Copies of this chain bind each other. A is one copy, B any other.
């Protein structure tokens, strides 16, 4: 296993074969995110992408909250009003743009890694937490989760992925606009009804163990197949049907091979296949 111990703002463990559990570990701050933590976030996925012992990643938060959003204190320098410094507004805007792009790239890492990511939302899961949730593949919540696209309530439009990815994730654009424009809280059950949450567990512990079980099921499959499946679905949400059919044809031109032989033979023999690492 690669070494994830240097990431002090996260707790990283391996609860099962091929399953990596990444936990936000700033419980006192309710796992609010600052530049250090989003940079570490990206670096963890950068390593996991090429870690042959990782096939599925579970993401959760230690303490009372999954994530209480952006740590406003930490980014105060980027959200000052006009008269706070002497840079002109053109230059300030170009710097702000660069700041946002790096932030997006870090938080969007679960979306761009071709290994499935399952997140567990519990307790306060607001603002940036929704950006994070929109970037993963499968979302499980515990009953105590408090969800909110909160950004509008503090005077800004969400800009780290929520408004960009959720229109292609949830099943109701009107509902999405309503919660994004009001900033109101919504429950895990409401979120499940709208397709934002896959399932709701009684407690956070149960949600985490559900996530790990699900991760184990996926990790038992061919890593070539899960890589290709995630890549194909994400490609399809951004491209036309003909382009997407071409993409998977090119991928499966090489990816259909030994694992299909093994998988099909095992299925016929009702045995459990063991696939080589990827």
Chain A contact residues, CB within 8 Å of chain B: 50, 72, 78-82, 88-94, 96-98, 100-101, 104, 108, 111, 116, 137-139, 151-159, 161, 163-165, 167-178, 180-184, 194-198, 214, 217-218, 221-222, 224-233, 236-264, 267, 273, 275-276, 278
Judge whether A233 and B97 touch: CB under 8 Å: no
Judge whether B93 and A93 touch: CB under 8 Å: yes
Known: A139-B174, A174-B195. 5 other contacts (CB 8 A): A138-B177, A163-B236, A175-B198, A182-B214, A242-B242
Kindly state the separation between the CA atoms of A151 and B259 in the bound complex, as whole angstroms: 11
Complex interface: chain B residues within 8 A of A163 (CB): 229, 232-233, 236, 244, 248
Complex interface: chain B residues within 8 A of A153 (CB): 221, 263, 267
Judge whether B82 and A164 touch: CB under 8 Å: no
Q: Could you write out 30 A-B pairs with CB less than 8 Å apart? A: A50-B98, A79-B256, A81-B258, A88-B258, A89-B258, A90-B256, A90-B258, A97-B250, A100-B253, A101-B249, A111-B241, A137-B177, A138-B177, A155-B224, A157-B255, A158-B232, A159-B232, A164-B241, A167-B168, A174-B195, A174-B197, A175-B195, A181-B218, A181-B221, A181-B229, A182-B217, A182-B221, A184-B217, A238-B240, A250-B251
Complex interface: chain B residues within 8 A of A116 (CB): 177, 181
Kindly state the separation between the CA atoms of A240 and B97 in the bound complex, as whole angstroms: 19
**How many copies make up the complex?**
6
Judge whether B88 and A276 touch: CB under 8 Å: yes
Judge whether B174 and A259 touch: CB under 8 Å: no
Complex interface: chain B residues within 8 A of A97 (CB): 249-250, 253
Judge whether A167 and B255 touch: CB under 8 Å: no
Complex interface: chain B residues within 8 A of A229 (CB): 151-152, 157-158, 163, 177, 180-181
User: Which of B169, B175, B243, B278 meets A173, CB within 8 Å?
Assistant: B169
Judge whether B198 and A248 touch: CB under 8 Å: no
